[in-house]
Structure 1
Amino acid sequence: MGQGEEVNTRNPSDVEIQERGEIYFFYRPKVGKEEAHSSDDVQKMYIVLRPESGETSTEVKQAEDDHDDEEKNKEDVQPSSSAGTQGGHGAQEVNIEKETLLRFIVMGKKSLPDPTKKSMPFWGFVELVTTKIQDVKDALKGEEYDTKTRGHRHKPPARALGEGMYRILRHHVGGVKDDKKKKMHTHLIYKLELPSEDVNEQPQEALNVEREASFLIQIKNPEQTGKQGRTEFRGLQRKRRAVFPAHLQGQFGKLRYHAADPPDFLNYEGCEFLLISASDDIEEELGLDLETEQTHDASCSDLVNTFGVGETGSADALLRGIWV
């Protein structure tokens, strides 16, 4: 359905769009369950970001790895210290206006932040960054396997939950961007196109996937360690954390978190971040109106056409708003 358009309804100098694209939501039922009936039956929640334009047409990501190895994300391999300025996996340029770039994200609490609890951060991480659609299909599909303690196990395929448009943007609080006294933070905002507004939206409501939402997004410094505070997250093991190139890592300094500026931070596997609910009314908060293509025909769904229904089980959660 495309990246849609945004319309400024207030002073546009307070907001700078860094990246535009499509956003897809998925959930996976727990191992051994053929379908989910509530959030208690959900094993994981995923977000897929597909950037399509931005401040620059070219983004830099870690070099393409072979994602066919199903054990890739389970191995504790320390990235080479010889990676230098390019990061732990080298560098690859992608023209997002002409090429596919997909970020496969795992949410730690199996849902989005509760919009009524605006001070509670939710942790997530980028599990996969790829230019190959099949890599994401493989990450979404089900699996049959055997264990020594529990015998044969069935991991069900992920279910498509929502499809829409997103923006990553800078927000200059209280004034224009050139005023050094004004603070800047970054937002991830989205607006759904599917499911349509006339369905029940049972799984969407249970997993806090609102029709539209705005979140503060902060990138976690992978080199910062220390005692875990009351609101801190243990996060990934050290050997699974992102290894950013020098120009990105240098932006942290001694800070534990940094704004998602540039969004290229999210192009490195193991990138950890926090989402903090800001608003469920984007226009009221930021003066932006996101305009979707206003079509609810499944045949026009980029999610279904790109990833297929076979890899994501039934499309009933996406199209009918019911648990499957």
Structure 2
Amino acid sequence: MTSGTRSSAKRLDESAADPTSEAAPGSKHKTEAAESPEAKRAKTSDEKQQKTIEETIGSKTNGTSHNSKAEQAVKTEDAGTEDDKNEPKQEQQQASKAASPSPKQEEESAVEPHGRDDSEAVPSSILEKGIIYFFFRGRVGIDEPSEVDDIARSYIVLRPIEKDAKLGSGPIGDAGNGRLCAIPKKVLPQSGRDRWIAFVEKTGASFQKLKDEFLSASDYATKTAGTRHSPAATPIGEGVYAITSTGRESHLVYMLTLPEKLGEVQHEIGLKEKGSFILSTKNPEYPGPASARLPEAPEYPEEVIKGFRSLRWMPTQPEHLDYANAQFLLVGESSGVEKALEPQKKDEKAGKQDPADELEKLEEEDTERMKDLGKDDAGSIYADLQVHAKDYPKLQTTF
């Protein structure tokens, strides 16, 4: 990393973590920008040219049929020649808030009422829970990445379910409330020094919308390089998640269901069997650094804006993620999931479920239902998303 890049990254981190009371949750961690560990491979000459979000958010790039302005604004290795960069950008997709499932969708969903008694009440620290999918997309023209440098960026898809629900058999069902979160890095943050600014690319998304605008490959024309190919998104994991609150901080904690055994790809990307990140949402009324601005701000309603008060960053609430272009800080936690799943004293006094037990039960239910969805891991994931597996890449575990 050049000295200029380090300086830019440090400025971004300092803006994201105000040392006063407006500091983002997780600001107690060191704020120096750090590349995520990629210990299993040797440094390549291409890696030295890898751009970070700090360098690329404001850059102009060429669009594809499944990328909106927000994603174009942070596109990294996919950028081509100067003529490519001057190509007209695709109009941003209009995102809507999560829709309620229709009666038909409810009948086809594995989500079931839990029928809890008071002793099984969901702990108040769990703000949201659901199914999580991890994907990456290869660089332009690379359908089968053979190393981390062949990856353009990573993605997280969140499919929320009711907090007191349990999972039965069959696909999760399309409630039209999916969220696609783009992480303009090749890998996930691993420690408090890794502080990525991610954003909500699509919200209120049906599985059909994810298929048409995210999962599928696409080709597009450029003035000088002819037709260029953007590969399909590749799955690398599926599991359950919860957005939790520990008072001062919010966390995104997950437990993987698939693959059953993590491979080289999962380790290189930074996935774990159990992992968590600190989440902080950026107040859109405060301009970020010029290098970290999206073309459009999220259209938060007045009550959400009021919730920020005068803070530049605040602990992420699930409703923040229901708006396209919402920016949030994703801070790595190397200490495991214990802090993210720490029970609150008021819940312990009330005899409510332990947050860890709640998520582990959900993971057990998810493991059972995913067993019969497909012939392999990829087939199970695509069946869950109502997509024909034969049209898309297999779940990748090795390079």
User: Shared fold by TM > 0.5?
Assistant: yes
Q: CA deviation at 1:110?
A: 2.5
Equivalent position of 1:51 in the other structure: 160
| 1:111 aligned residue | 187
Amino acid at match of 2:278: L
Q: 2:242 aligns with which of 156, 161, 167?
A: 167
Contact 1:53 1:97 in 2 (8 A): no
Counterpart among 124, 135, 147 of residue 198 in structure 2: 124
Displacement after TM superposition at 1:122 (Å): 1.1
Equivalent residue number for residue 330 of structure 2: 275
Amino acid at match of 2:381: L
1:264 matched to which residue of 2? Answer: 319
Separation in 2, partners of 1:202, 1:45: 16
Mapped to 1, the partners of 2:225 and 2:323 lie a distance apart of: 35
CA contact (8 A) 1:167 1:188 kept: yes
Q: Deviations over 1:13-43 (max 9, x none)?
A: 9961110100001011110112101110001
298, 309, 312: which is aligned to 1:253?
309
Tell which structure's C-alpha radius of gyration is larger.
2
Unaligned runs of 5+ in 1: 6-11, 57-95, 173-183
In 2 relative to 1, CA 251–277 (structure 1 residues): closer, same or farther, beyond 3 Å?
Answer: same
Do the aligned residues in 1 keep the contact of 2:297 with 2:326 (CA within 8 Å)? yes
**Deviation, structure 1 residue 285:** 5.7
- Please give the alpha-carbon distance, in whole angstroms, between the structure 2 residues aligned to 1:20 and 1:14: 11
Q: SS at 1:286's partner residue?
A: coil
The TM-score normalised by the length of structure 1 is 0.70
Q: Is the 8 A contact 1:15 1:171 kept in 2?
A: no
Alignment of 1:233-312 (within 5 A): 234-237=291-294, 239-261=295-317, 263-279=318-334, 281-283=336-338, 286-287=341-342, 288-289=356-357, 290-291=359-360, 292-293=363-364, 294-295=367-368, 297=371, 299=373, 303-305=381-383, 306-308=385-387, 310=389
Cα distance in 1 for partners of 2:283, 2:243 equals 19
Deviations along 1:245-293, whole A, 9 cap, x unmatched?
A: 00001111221111113x1110000000011122453246634243212
| Higher alpha-carbon deviation: 267-276 or 12-21 | 12-21
Amino acid corresponding to residue 275 of structure 2 in structure 1: A
Equivalents in 1 of 2:178, 2:152: separation in Å? 22
- Counterpart of 1:102 (choices 178, 188, 196) is 178
Change in 2 beyond 3 A, CA 1:41/1:51: same
Structure 1 residues 36, 309: CA separation in 2 closer, same or farther (over 3 Å shift)?
Answer: farther
State the alpha-carbon separation in 1 of the partners of residues 339 and 310 from structure 2.
Answer: 34
Give a deviation string over 1:167-213, Cα, whole Å, max 9, x none.
001103xxxxxxxxxxx21111001000012x5x1111111111111
Structure 1 Cα separation of the partners of residues 245 and 110 of structure 2: 22
The structure with the greater share of residues assigned to strand is 1
Higher helix share: 2
**Cα RMSD (Å):** 3.1
Kept in 2, the 8 Å contact 1:141–1:157? The answer is yes
- Secondary structure of 2:314's partner? strand
Aligned partners of 1:105 and 1:124 also within 8 Å: yes
The aligned counterpart of 1:208 is: 270
- Deviation for aligned residue 1:217: 0.2
Judged with a 3 Å threshold, the aligned counterparts in structure 2 of structure 1 residues 307 and 38 are, in CA distance, closer, same or farther, namely farther
1:109–1:123 CA contact under 8 A, matched in 2:
no
**What is the aligned length?**
253
Distance 1:313 1:125, change over 3 A: same
Match of 1:75 in 2: none
Q: Does 1:156 align with 2:201?
A: no
* Matched AA of 1:127: E
**Using a 3 Å threshold, how does the CA distance of structure 1 residues 170 and 102 change in structure 2: closer, same or farther?**
same
Taking only the aligned residue pairs, the percentage that are identical comes to 30
Q: Is the 8 A contact 2:253 2:340 kept in 1?
A: no
The separation in 1 between residues aligned to 2:392 and 2:322, in whole angstroms, is: 27
Name stretches of at least 5 consecutive residues in structure 2 with no aligned partner.
Answer: 1-108, 115-120, 166-171, 343-355
Q: Is the 8 A contact 1:210 1:280 kept in 2?
A: no
Give the ranges of 4+ consecutive aligned residues of structure 1 lying more than 6 Å apart after TM superposition.
Answer: 1-5, 12-15
Change (3 A) 1:2 1:111: farther
Q: Is the 8 A contact 1:23 1:165 kept in 2?
A: yes
